Amino acid sequence: MTDASSGDLAEGMLLKIREHDVRIGDILAEVRHFTAVSGILFGFLLTVSIAYTAQVPWIVPRVFLLLALVCTGSATLIFILPPLYHHLRFPMDEKQTLQFLWRSHKFILWGIVPLYAGVYFSVFLALYNVIGASAAAVIATAMVIIPFVAYELRKIGDPKELR
């Protein structure tokens, strides 16, 4: 990509951001919610791992607990990146603000993946001892797939002007 084309891309993005009136505070508020959700889940899983791991002799729950901890911990750290980036680059000029908004969007998208995986492993782990591995896997998979299906079906019934 040449400098001219990347400059055109940045100009177009800046116009879109101005048009939609996206602000740094909006991004930081959004990240705050993701950080809270992943942090609370991570804290709960960490408490479970410390309190109950010695009592669980089976390897499957331990592996899923480890996977859930790694995923939620990673998501929490990724969601912390936008505020950290903001504080390290403060004060920012217009170009740096554009970079912040674009990179924060990428951080949020990257953080959603381990958060979803952490929720899947957590639900599987919670249901594993109650209903067994097969049923737990089906229910946990359904819980993760339903939001994706709802997202894909979001346009059904919308007027053509909104599609």
The pLDDT averaged over each successive group of 10 residues in the chain (163 residues) is: 54 64 74 85 81 71 87 89 78 78 86 91 87 91 90 77 63
Q: How far apart are CA 45 and CA 47, in angstroms?
A: 5
pLDDT for position 17? 62
Closest CA to 45 of 16, 81, 76: 76
Q: Please provide the DSSP assignment of the chain as one string.
A: --HHHHHHHHHHHHHHHHHHT--HHHHHHHHHHHHHHHHHHHHHHHHHHHHHGGG---HHHHHHHHHHHHHHHHHHHHHHHHHHHHHHH-S--HHHHHHHHHHHHHHHHHHHHHHHHHHHHHHHHHHHHHH-HHHHHHHHHHHHHHHHHHHHTTTTT--GGG-
Read off the pTM.
Answer: 0.73
pLDDT for position 103? 84
pLDDT for position 138? 94
Residue with tokens 């899923």: 64
Q: Are 143 and 126 in contact (CB under 8 A)?
A: no
pLDDT for position 24? 74
